[in-house]
Structure 1
Amino acid sequence: MLANIFPHKKYSGTLFYRLLISFLIIILLLVSFNVMTFTFFRSNIRDEIIKNSSLNLNATVVNYEKHIKLIKSMMIGNYFNNKTEILKNDSLPFDYYIASEIQKDLQNTLTNSQLFLYNVIYYFPRQNYALDKSGASPTETMFNKFFQSTQYTKQFWEQELQKPFSFHIYPATDFIEKNSFYTNYLGRFNPIVFKSAANPNFAIIGMLDSAKMYTTFSLVQKDTSFYIYDESGKEAFSATNLNHPVQVRAGTEKSGHYVSGTDYYFYQKGLETGFTYLTVVPFDAISTQIVRLNVIMAVLLIVSILIGVVVSIFFAGKFHNPLSAIIRSIQEMDKNKSPALSTIQEFNVISQKLHDLFRTNVDIHNDLLAKNSLLQHYAYMNKVKMIHTDIQDAKLSMAIDRPFQLILYQVMYKESLLSEMGMDPNRASYYIKEFIHSLFTQTYKDSLTFQIEKDQILTIVFVETVDTSTTKELLHKVRGILELDAGYCDVTIAVSPVNANAMEFNAMFEQVGQLQKCRKLGEGVQIIYDKTELPPEIWFSQSDLKELTANLSSGNETITIPLVMKTLEHAVKRDASLFQINSLSKEIVNLIIKTMYSINIPISWLDDKPSPADSLKDCRTLEQFQSYFREFLTQSASVIKQKKEATDHITSFVTTYVNEHFGSDLSLDVLADKLNITGAYLSTYFKEKTDINFSEYVNSVRMDKATEMLQKTDLKIQDVAQLVGYYTVASFNRMFKKHTGLTPSEYRRMHLG
């Protein structure tokens, strides 16, 4: 066979011959290198495996310790932030708004899957409630139902918080959610607690997902067992197939390894937690790896030599035969050119054509760059978003002063109807974009259409003249097609004038964005070419605003509904745009919500309804806006009336106490202390419930008692004044005359005469 490969000296200069010799030399060099390398590593492989196991454990420890430090920093930040400080203050009433804000913060934090936190619980043992991402609940419910485990019960946490520590990680255990209807397995978590060592009345408890942390952070081998022990030597976590308990050998240093029985033990202590991390590698696994490696290396060496020789002969022939055919073809194309001098015959011909191939390749490459529509889309998107990039080769076609026109499509979906079709807005916008692109490229081949937002599509049309009649015809066709889907979406099409200055691209985009805001009320497709003069956004007079606010506070929908209807109708008569009507509607909704907050009514009654912003987005006509506000104002008025009609122990206590102690010190702070609330909250609450100030009510009770004493007794006026709580006759006389219109003496004479 080899005799056939090397028969004559005349073949020694051919490509086939030289390729074959080169392949064989490379194979011999690689084989020699592999033999030397394997011989060296075979004597050191066990030490390398031990070293590798130690390094893997060290990397695992670093990953765990960094993550626990991150979680600790996050919990410290949450513990001392302003919102938490408000809830921790026992002297303040429970602030539901702050609690909802903390709940939102927790939800946002827990969306980060890289934290491996299943939940974070704000625990208030004195108040007997806990707050997590799902809301507030009693501690009994939180720890015995939502997060039930055999180890971490409500009683356990009450005892733990009495201990003088600030940060602690507890052993992992299984948690379930259990109620009367079902039992749901939540997972295996390591509870992690941060609190003030001096304050046992508040703590933050995080549920660390042990299994996910192990899967992500562990770099130990598959056949090994992994353990984490806390500072007291208790097992905090384990991932093992062993059936017997494992403990770290007493007296071990911060890191190292030792052999016990048939296993290697690698251990290392964490600097942040003080935990001991342990991996157990069976001795058989290391021995098996060495034997397996010997066999594999021997087999690979033999197979690689055989394959190398065969492949060398095969590829040398494969390279030579097609190349010979290509060379013959090139020679036939240009027989007049003499070959360049070379020691290899085939390259004498190839060299004659290389410069032509390179020139052709450059031309094709430049043409591809100029025609690359994907790069253009990215470049225009960056320009629209005003994102600066370092891409120097993406040349916009607008760089040449070609006239262009921008067309912006604002798609307003009726999402309730769209969901019935099983289609999300992004996919619907994609189909609309593809339709517009197909239609415009038939007339304007260089036009670009791309989606810039979930509900926005932009078309850039390059025109030869300022005549826009063709564009209008195309938009008329677009409107005809989109009108067929009017039941699912409404579309506003804003069209810019033709502009030849590429530097004004962003200004033109802002212009079509402003044109979008000129859409009038109504459904369907509206095309806007010119900006219309919009009325100033002053919808309420001061008197109307005061009247609306007052009637909102009292829950009087018979006044608020007609007033809002009149305001909306007045805005329409002033030719306001849909954008302005929507802004006015948001202003009214915000006023309603602020009014309800001012009288301590949270918006929890909206939880089972679409948000006002989402509801207003579906309104296109005056009738739809009016229908929404009739329902919204009626519901809010009903809630306000229910609030005002409700009785409570605070008001009853104040009225009873004032009537029984009218002669004592009846300051606001005295009664607030008795109720364990603040004076400011009591004043606001009493005014809201009775529509009278606390001081006015006290003076009214005292004056009623004084008139009764003046009519039925012969007590001196000074004595009457002291009995009803006034220390000077002058202040009593002044208040009595203000209340009855007479001085005490005149009142007594009139009723005794």
Structure 2
Amino acid sequence: MFRKTIFKKLFLSFSVVIIIYTSIILFVTISQEYSQNRLEINKLNEMFLERESNIIDYRLDVSLNVVKLLSQQDVIAEFLKENQFNYSVYSKMFNELTGNHFSNDQLGFNLAVLKDYGTDVTSSDGYFLFKDYMKFIHMDENITELEAFMDLKGNNDLQCYDAKDKLVIVNKIYYQQEKQYLYFFIVWEKKDLLMSNLPDANSILAMVDSSVLASTTIMGENVLASFLPVKKTNENQIVYRSVNKYDGYQKRSNAIPTIHYLYITNVHTGIGLPIHTLTSIGVILIVLLLLGFVLTTTLSRKSYSPIEEIIKNIKSGEEKNSSDSYIKNELDYIISKIHIINKTNQNLVQLQQSSLVDLQENFLKNIIYENYDKQNMERRLKLLQLDPFSQGGILAIITMQGISEWESNLSEGNILTLRKKVLALCNEKETNQKFISFPIDYKHFCLFFAEKNQHLILDVLHRMIGRIEQELGVEITFTLSQAFPSLSELPKIFKSSFQLMEQKYSFIDTKSLCSSHIPLSSGKDYSYSVETESILINFMQKRELKHAKKLINEIVETSFREESMDIYNIYDFRNALINTIKRILNKCNLSFSDFLKNNKALFFHLNSSDIEILKNTFIDIFNELMLLLEEKHSIKLSTVESVLRYIQENYTSDLSLGEVADHFQLSESYVSKLIKDHLKSSFKNYVNQLKVEKSKILLESGKYMVSEVGEMVGCKNVNTFIRIFKQQEGITPGKYVINKMAK
């Protein structure tokens, strides 16, 4: 029996579909949740950067406003007027710098003032020399850059410097009246300016311009460097960037436009979803899988039920004791049973058709031979499904007994086999014409067409005969009757068609014969023996055209005599000469059909019964035949010369017969025959002769060794060369050289 594997396959198929759809739903859900989560994280990070940047900008604005207020005090005007150290002025300046306790204690920045980098510095931390103050605020490494800034002739410029744990802002203010610059230093402690408690322990908050000015970590220089240089942004615009495994958020300072705030966090490599979201997705997954299992089971059972019903019906018709061999699955079981049913049906149909064909054949044969009661004919026609033929039609007789050469060599058994094949090909109905075929004897059979248009039937027969001749390689001759109106006339039509087959040589085209009145011969009264025909064919084959022409004139003049030939002898002698032409063309491998087509006008005159016309026409036809043979010989000779010239030019390159044939686009057998007919030698032997003749010249020169000569004439192996040379000359190349030297 079989395993029930189709149900398992159905269940598996539906399961795969359910799993795929579940996966797609989960993927879409998780993707949307992840995208939403990322949007929320980005929004939170942007809000954090916005808040922190506003706080820092506020502090920076306060420090810059303090500097602005300080720069407008009277003590500054006094300070600018003094060219030398004046304790009173410096004391007032110090008091002014230390008087704002809010800036020092609450915001965490200190101030300092100097005129130039060569002058003393007054700061809220005391009085310093320039270089000492630079060391004090850790600006000693930036002195060169600071001096370059101080030398620039710009008004009211700002410059920020990274001074280790401090951020130094230098505000250069130009006083037009005094025509002097004052430099105000705002010194911030980075830890007071930047928030140290960030939302994410691995995140970084930094202030940058062209480089990092201040950051919340000293371990993230490489990370910060990957985000530099920062992109130019508009006021209050936050720009998101992702570099490597980090997300960066950038915002320009509203207080100092050259400064940007940079907030960097780690990229979440996991799902990055909250626990409650993951729980919800898990519940959805379980529900989908349970629903998918129920649907899969239901659909599998529903899809399997027709197969189960078919198997049940098949088994109900089997015998209870019947035992089937093991079959892989239900489908194979069903297919095997269908094959058995089809085979049984085919056998029944063949048996029915075979019986019907036999009955139809016997019925028509009995009518042809007039062995059937005409009163029961109509009733039998309906029973045998021959109703279309009750109103007559056209009869064709096909025979394999033609003028072809195979007929004389084929045994009767082989002819019977051929007849079966011909009959089978006839019954391959590639036409809409209704017909029935049946054998007469082992060489003849009939085709009875219901159609009464002779031209249509001729087209059908020509296509059919062409296919038979092409596939079986035989010649077929057929006769075609006139249309007849009733089945009762079939015996008479059959006899006349069969007689027409016996008189086929009265036609120029002996393969397609249509019914007409053909005169029967009344006795031979002309001189044209088999020996004379053989001599004529021999002259034509050997192209002894002068002798052939003379003999043709003698035959025509001797036989075509008006006083002794009646119409029957004229037809007989005409057909005999036509057959001679066919034999000559056949001997020379030329087509009679092509010759007939090219000389249709001449052959048309052969339908005449006028002796003079026939005489002149046959002389003209034989002249055309001689011209054709001459032309063929010239073409053949030209081809031979070209082939031999090609061989002589290429024999040293291991030339093959196939290569020569391909070069001239001819078959190998044809090239071989050309060479053999012209040289009386094979291709291989001729090439070897050329090699040996050339090698003899080279050996006689005394310049080359035997192996070198062998290579020069196209023999890659010296032993092959020695063998070829010995076959042609009877001695080896070495002995040939010794003999020549001895002479």
Could you say whether these structures have the same fold, taking a TM-score greater than 0.5 normalized by the shorter chain as the test?
no
Normalization by structure 1: what TM-score? 0.27
Q: Which has the larger radius of gyration?
A: 2
Question: TM-score, normalization: structure 2?
Answer: 0.27
